[in-house]
Structure formats: C-alpha cells, structure tokens
Amino acid sequence: MQFAQVLVDVPTMQTDKPFTYQVPAQLAGDLKLGMRVIVPFGRGKRKIQGFIVGFSDHVDFKGPVKPISAIIDPNPVVNDEMLKLSAWLAQTTFSFRISCVLTMLPSVMRAKAKKVLQRTDGELPAALQALFGDHEQIEFDQAALSDEQTKLILKAVQAGQLSVDYVVKNHAKPKLITKVQAHLGQPQLQKILDQVAKNAVAQQKLLRWLIDHPKDAIAQPTLIKTLGINASTIKTAAQKGWVTQSTVEALRNPYQKPIQKNYPLQLNADQQNAVDHIADSIHNDNAKVYLLEGVTGSGKTEVYLQAMQKALAAGKTALMLVPEIALTPQMVNRVKGRFGNLVAMLHSGLSMGEKYDEWRRIDQGDAKVVVGARSAVFAPLQNIGIIIMDEEHDSSYKQEDTPRYSTREVAKWRGQYNHCPVVLGSATPSLESRARASKHVYELLMLPHRINNQALPAVHIVDMRNEMANNVTSDFSQSLVDAIKLRLARKEQTVLMLNRRGYSAFLLCRDCGFVLKCPNCDISLTVHLKGHQMQCHYCGYEQPIPNVCPNCQGHHLRTFGTGTEKVEQELNQILPDARVIRMDVDTTKRKGAHEKLLARFGSGQADILLGTQMIAKGLDFPNVTLVGVLNADTSLELPDFRANEKTFQLLTQVSGRAGRADKAGSVYIQTFNPDSQAIQLAKTQDYEQFYRSEMRLRHLANYPPYFFTIRVTASATYENQAAGTIYQIANFLNGALTNRNIILGPTPSAITRVNNKYYYQLIIKYKHEPNLQSALETVLNKYQSATRHGIYISIDPEPVSFM
Ligand SMILES: Nc1ncnc2c1ncn2[C@@H]1O[C@H](COP(=O)(O)OP(=O)(O)OP(=O)(O)O)[C@@H](O)[C@H]1O
Ligand SMILES: [Zn+2]
Ligand SMILES: [Zn+2]
C-alpha cells in the first residue's frame, strides 16, 4: 500500500502540515511529487484540493486513512525546488505553506481552470485511442475516468504522447495554427520544379520558396500572403508529398512588435572586471552574492547582459529581476534585443493567459532567460546559472501581503539551491546590502565612472523659501524656468519629477478648516480633476467633488497640495510652446500606455517629460540634459527611519537621467530644506559618503542594518479589540524573548483605520534572538485562533517602513 502526504488548500494554523492519504492501488507508482489532487477533508463530505509533497509505504497514524479522491493535474505543477522553497518561505515569513505554494503558481492554475489533454505525436494505447476518437484534444476530468484510464493517461503524459493545457475562460483554448514545411530535400524539389507545367505559376512560386527555405516551418497564412498563392496550392503540394502541414500551438506573444536586435558592446575595464568575476562563479557553480555598485549611466545593464550570456554559453539559464517591469520597457527591449525568443517575460501587465503561456514556456525549458518583476523570482527555471536583481534597493521587491517575502532573500535561496551567483545591482544600494559587502558577506564590484567618462550632472539646489519670500506661489522657481527655456532653445529635452510619495491634492474648507476624508479610512480623499472625483487611494472609495462644505455649508472649498495635472496646466501657461508628456497613474492605466509615452518622448515628439516617481529609474535618453525635481521634501517628512535613504536614492536616480550621452547634464532640485543631509549629499551624488554618514545615524538609533526588525500587526473591526490584542502580544513577547532586543510600541499604525478595520502594531528590533521563531509561532497560534473571531495577526519580517 502506498501513501501520499498532501498539503491541503485550507490556509489555517491547524492544517499547516501535510495530511496522509491512501494512493488508489491502481495508481500506485504513477503519482508524482508536486501533483495536485482532490481529497476528502474533515468530517462530512467536503472535497478540497491539495498538493502531494511526499510518499511513504506505511503510516504511523492509527485509524482509517482516507483515499485520494481524484487527481487534478496529470502532471506535477510544482517541482522539487519549489516544494523545498515553499517550506523555507513559510517558516521565514510566518505564513502557511499552502499560501506559499499557491503564490508560486500562475493565477490560471490557482483558479479552477479546465484542463485539456492534447495529443502530441505517436500512437496512443488502444484504450486511450478510443477515448480520443478522432479528436486532437479532450478535457481531462478524472471523475469521469476509470482508474485504468487515468493510469494510461499519466503514463502517456510521462512519455510525452500527451501534453496538458490549462484553459483560461476568456481565452477558450490555446490558439492553433497550421505550419508548412518542406518535406523533400532541395535536389528533389529542384527536379520537380524543372518538371511542373509552365503555367502553374503558384506551384513554381511555392517550390522556389521551399528550395530557398529547406528547414523553415512557416505559418500557412504567412506563406500564402508572402507568395500571393492560395490554400489549395498548399493542399495540393501536401497531397503530392512536397510539404508537410502540422498543427501547432500559437502562443500568445506579449511582444508582438519587432524588437531591434542588439549586440554585445566592447566593455570598459571596470565592466570587464565585473563580468570576469561573475563568470568565474558561474563556471565554478559558486553561489556567491555580488553587489554591483555603479553610478547612474555606468553601464550596469551591459554587465548583466554579458554575464547572462556566459550562463547561457555554459548551458544554463538566467533569471533577471527588475522593479516593476512595465516601468522599464527600455530594459525589456535591451534583453529581448539581445536574446530574442529565448526570453520570457513575467509581469503584471500581462493577461492571465499570456502569463500562463510564458510560465509554461519556462516550465518546458523553451525559455532560457526570464525577465520579470517581483513574483518572477518564482519562475520555474531549471539549472539556473545566474540571478540578477536590478535596482536591488527598490521597495517594490518587498511583497506587502502574505507571504510577505523579500525578493532578495528568495533570490539568494535559489542561488544556493542552484549553485549559482546572485548579482545585486544599483547606483544606490540599500544600506543592508552595502553593509554586507563591507563585511565581505557579499563581494563588492564597482563601476565608479559613467560610460566614456562623461561627468555626473551638475546639481543645483533651489531654496524655495526665497521664492516664497518673493511672493511667488508657483510650483516653478525662476531658475528652473530659465533652465527649461535654455533646453527648448537648444532642442534638448527635460525630465520633470513631482515627488508624490505620501502626498497628494486634498480638499480643505477655508471657512471652517474641514478636510474631506474617506468614510472607511483615516485618510483624506484625493482630488482628481479629470472626472471631477474625490478618491481614496487605500480602499478605492469615490465620490464627486462637493460644491459646498459638508461641515459648514460654506462655499470656499479649495484644493491644497499639488498634482501632476495641476503642474501640467501651469507649465502650459508658463511655456505655451513646450510639448509636454505627462506620466502618472492616470495617463498610464491602459495597457501599453507607459511604453507608448516613453517611445514618443524618446523619438523627440515632446520637449518635457513630466511625471511622478515612475520616471526616476532606468530611462536612458541621450537628448535629456536637464532634470528638475519640483518638490524634494515630501519623502523627507515621512515618519520613517528610511526617509533619508529613500530621498537620497530617489534624487540620485532621477538626477542620473541627465547627460547620459555626449552632452553634459544639469539638475535643479527645489526644496524647503536645502540644508538637510540627504539633499546636500544628493548634490554630489556620492553614495559612499552617504552610506558612511547614514550608517552612523542608524548605529546611534539602533536601526537596521545594525538590527533586524519584525513588525507584528493586529487588526480587527473594533478598535478596542485591535489595541487589546497587541498589548497582550507585547506582554507575552516581553516574557518569551530574551532581554537583548527592543520592542517599539505598541502603537496605532500610521493610518489606524483602513477599509473599516483598525490596525495596531509593534516592532521588534533584534540581533540574535534564539526564541524568536517559536515565540512568534505561538503568537499566531494563540491570538489568531478560531475562538478569537475577526482578529487577524500579521507578521512582517524586515518591513520596508515602520508606518
Ligand atoms: N561598454 C560600453 N560601450 C559603449 N556604450 C556603453 C557601454 N556600456 C553601456 N553603454 C551605454 O551607456 C548607456 C548607459 O548604460 P546603462 O543604461 O546600462 O547604465 P546603468 O548603469 O544601468 O544606469 P542607471 O543606473 O542610470 O539606469 C547606455 O546607453 C548603454 O548602451
Ligand atoms: Zn478609504
Ligand atoms: Zn466648512
């Protein structure tokens, strides 16, 4: 008798371990690790899905062991690496293992998608032949099959005679197309061509094409169009045995437009040194972590590309992570242009079907290079030779929902598993990474100069207090306006950034001081001029902009704060001839909009690119010689110990967009805090100096990277429940942990109420805490049990902010 350990899809504490089920005798030996099955669960007849995570030939458990009811996939959906990774992830992020497994799968496979078996080639056993009849594909529904049939199907899938597809509802089936290919050799075709009737023009065209393209399989519609022939010519050719026609799957290709091919550049000495070191680790299966610290425009991307090339040349695969890929189309084009069809993309801009297609290309080994945002770190690549994380300091690499993983830590885990190097790259590394490089946990590789030794742009700090004193209420200082005018005259381009982190336009009554807030959250509503709406950025609540004050019925409602829309209007008044492209969440909502706007700017159809933080990173436009930051202060004012770090990173990144090619660049930073350290250091863009001075502050205040941090949050419908629970947890932790750590709080979270739930939190700062894991597991068990209804505890290791 064979037994299987099944991880059931019930995310609770009590079910967070595998349960044992009987494998039906007929199927013994044919089930595989990582397959999904349906099992009976609990009392009653409830049937749920689960993943097979182990096998055994005996059970220690006394009492009846229920059998597996059905199998969902005739193929494993998670491999050995992912199973192990899920166990580690569950432990380190304090989440359920089943949630971790589900996080790794494309959403199509999380939903109840239809599964289709597709014949590939070769004869099927008679019993299956009968099942298919003359269909090329049938739906796989194990409930309707006998165990014998199931067994045969599993074997056929193993043998590659059948392939498995998940059908997304609105994409019905994988798209099928007919391909045509020469069936005879060139000499034979030539002989036939010499013999065909002189007036059989279409046949001659076809034969000539086949002679010129002996190996190509071409889509039939394309062939018809190229040659100007019709389908009957091809049909006749197939009957005569000149060509073969085959039906293949057309994958939905998310990058239809042709991408220009590019070739390896001649590296400079620093780049070459970096590639050599990384290549060394690739060839020696060394799971080393490198920190590639290179100033803006120093050619980090070329280092990534050539390092990936080394991995491919060694017969391995490459994984490249970028912040949010939709934000860096230029990067995508560079990688696609270099590696062509070997590249698969994974990012949030793809439809469910497109994502699944890409995932499967990776899973089947057709894609050798994966480029993607955060969740791509789980791409089912095998035999990885290098993992790259571009802009490693970016906060989008932290997952904010369960499982609250750090992409960097997952990347490092996979580096260990695959025995391959991990390259963390940035002009402004996170303090955590830079500190590890100092301690030689990571190896530091530097690119201290821009390509062609171009100078970093000259940064001017504009003191907005003076502008205000001169009674100017504009968002633009005179010096910035003059600088833009100069660029317009020289036909050069300008990038303007409005820093909107934690900052947006709100509505205030000048009579009574009332601020319009969200009814569900403790946060003011944001004014959206377009559509004339007030919006909550936390829960999505919307209402029209009121004409009278809801509090005093007064008529003096005024918008405070600024937004990109308002700045754009002002820009049009000051510089009516300038062509402006605005880039923010509103103008980039539609699929592909972001890329289109950047392409327009890149081809010189605009003079000014005005946008939020989304324009700060990665852009490489040679004609940009001026960068303006309209308000550098907002991210400084946040009650967050990383405020300095984030401001310095942002200002350095955005400054780096100027003067990247042969023309020198300059930068104007408008601020009310010209003397603050982050702004002064951003002036020289000297990361190393910033690192040293910020580390001193962190040391004095016992903050990361000197301490590790964990946030525990309790949320509930009633404020007293949330507050009461977090105080109980604090008491418990004070007893359970050693006194070598520091507990901050409990306090209400920065926004105490979101979507009608109250949030209270505490933060643990620790260096070595032997009791941490068990204490926190107890917290989850004790304070989030079924008896404590409606109270939810979340544990966030290394939160990106303390708010
Ligand atoms: N060895 C080289 N020779 C010539 N040009 C190069 C070389 N390496 C890179 N470049 C070019 O220099 C420019 C800047 O490189 P890249 O965009 O990779 O910089 P980066 O370090 O990623 O910058 P950032 O951090 O600002 O995004 C690009 O246009 C790139 O094509
Ligand atoms: Zn809200
Ligand atoms: Zn009022």
First to last CA, the chain: 54
Q: Is 451 in the pocket of ligand 1 (CB under 6 A)?
A: yes
Tell me how far apart the alpha carbons of residues 175 and 172 are, in angstroms, rounded to a whole number. Answer: 9
Which is more confident, 15 or 612?
612
Mean pLDDT of the chain: 86
Number of residues that make up the chain: 803
Q: What is the mean pLDDT of residues 322-344?
A: 84
Question: Tell me, what's the pLDDT at 169?
Answer: 52
413-470 per-position pLDDT tens digit: 999 999 999 999 999 999 999 999 999 999 999 999 999 888 899 999 998 888 767 7
Q: Shortest CA distance to 147 belongs to which of 275, 23, 24, 319? A: 24
6 has a pLDDT exceeding 50: yes
> In percent, how much of the chain has pLDDT > 90?
40
Question: Tell me, what's the pLDDT at 127?
Answer: 78
775 has a pLDDT exceeding 90: yes
- Phi then psi dihedrals of residue 743, to 5 deg: -110, 120
Question: Tell me, what's the pLDDT at 120?
Answer: 76
468-516 per-position pLDDT tens digit: 677 666 788 999 999 999 999 999 999 999 876 544 677 888 888 888 8
Tell me how far apart the alpha carbons of residues 394 and 331 are, in angstroms, rounded to a whole number. Answer: 16
> In percent, how much of the chain has pLDDT > 70?
93
Question: Tell me, what's the pLDDT at 250?
Answer: 65
- Phi then psi dihedrals of residue 526, to 5 deg: -100, 140
Question: Tell me, what's the pLDDT at 326?
Answer: 57
76 has a pLDDT exceeding 70: yes
Cis peptide before 705 (omega within 30 of 0): yes
Of 16-20, 126-130, 362-366, which gets the smallest average pLDDT? 126-130
Question: Tell me, what's the pLDDT at 522?
Answer: 79
Tokens of 796: 């966030």
Atom of ligand 1 nearest to the CA of 267: 1
3-state secondary structure 497-551: ECCCCCCCCEEEECCCCCECECCCCCCECEEECCCCEEECCCCCCEEECCCCCCC
Of 334-348, 368-382, 584-598, 672-686, which gets the smallest average pLDDT? 584-598
- Phi then psi dihedrals of residue 75, to 5 deg: -135, 145
Which DSSP state fits 141? -
Report residue 221 CA to chain centroid gap.
35
Q: Is 296 in the pocket of ligand 1 (CB under 6 A)?
A: yes
Crossing angle between the packed helical segments 643-655 and 687-700, to the nearest 10 degrees: 170
Q: What is the mean pLDDT of residues 519-548?
A: 82
Q: Shortest CA distance to 447 belongs to which of 425, 432, 430? A: 425
User: Which residues, chain by chain, have CB under 5 Å from ion ligand 2?
Assistant: 518, 520-521, 536, 538-539, 541
Q: What is the mean pLDDT of residues 517-542?
A: 80
pLDDT band at residue 172, thresholds of 50, 70 and 90? very low
Q: What is the mean pLDDT of residues 175-203?
A: 86
Question: Tell me, what's the pLDDT at 637?
Answer: 63
Q: What is the DSSP string of 44-82?
A: TT-EEEEEEEEEES-----S--PBP-EES-SS-SS-HHH
Structural domains for the chain: 3-111 (3.40.1440.60), 113-169 (no CATH), 176-249 (no CATH), 269-453 (3.40.50.300), 458-504+561-697 (3.40.50.300), 708-797 (3.30.70.600)
Q: Is 271 in the pocket of ligand 1 (CB under 6 A)?
A: yes
Question: Tell me, what's the pLDDT at 333?
Answer: 85
Half-sphere exposure of 4 (CA within 13 A, CB side): 30
Burial 121-155 (b: 16+ CB within 10 A, else e): eeebeeebeebeeeeebbebebeebeeebbbbbbe
Do residues 757 and 798 make contact, with C-beta atoms less than 8 angstroms apart?
A: no
Q: In this structure, which long-range contacts are made by residues 56-65, counting pairs with CB atoms below 8 Å and at least 24 apart in sequence?
A: 56/2, 56/3, 56/5, 56/20, 57/1, 57/2, 57/3, 58/1, 58/3, 59/3, 59/20, 61/20, 65/3, 65/20, 65/21, 65/22
Cis peptide before 403 (omega within 30 of 0): yes
Q: Is 671 in the pocket of ligand 1 (CB under 6 A)?
A: no
Question: In this predicted complex, what is the ipTM?
Answer: 0.95
258 has a pLDDT exceeding 50: yes
Tokens of 299: 């050619």
613-671 per-position pLDDT tens digit: 888 877 889 999 999 999 887 666 666 788 889 889 999 999 999 998 888 899 999 98
Query: Ligand 2 centroid to 520 CA: how many Å?
Result: 5
Question: Tell me, what's the pLDDT at 173?
Answer: 47
Q: What is the mean pLDDT of residues 60-80?
A: 84
Tell me how far apart the alpha carbons of residues 339 and 716 are, in angstroms, rounded to a whole number. Answer: 50
Opening angle at CA 518, ends 516 and 521, nearest 5: 135
- Phi then psi dihedrals of residue 113, to 5 deg: -85, 155
Residue in 267, 298, 330 to alter for ligand 1 test, most ligand atoms within 8 A of Cβ: 298
Instruction: Find out whether 518 is annotated in a ligand binding site.
Output: yes
Q: What is the mean pLDDT of residues 777-798?
A: 82
Atom of ligand 1 nearest to the CA of 271: 1
Question: Tell me, what's the pLDDT at 110?
Answer: 66
Torsion-angle region of residue 561: left (phi > 0), alpha (psi -120 to 50) or beta? left
- Nearest residue CA, atom 11 of ligand 1? 299
Question: Tell me, what's the pLDDT at 506?
Answer: 79
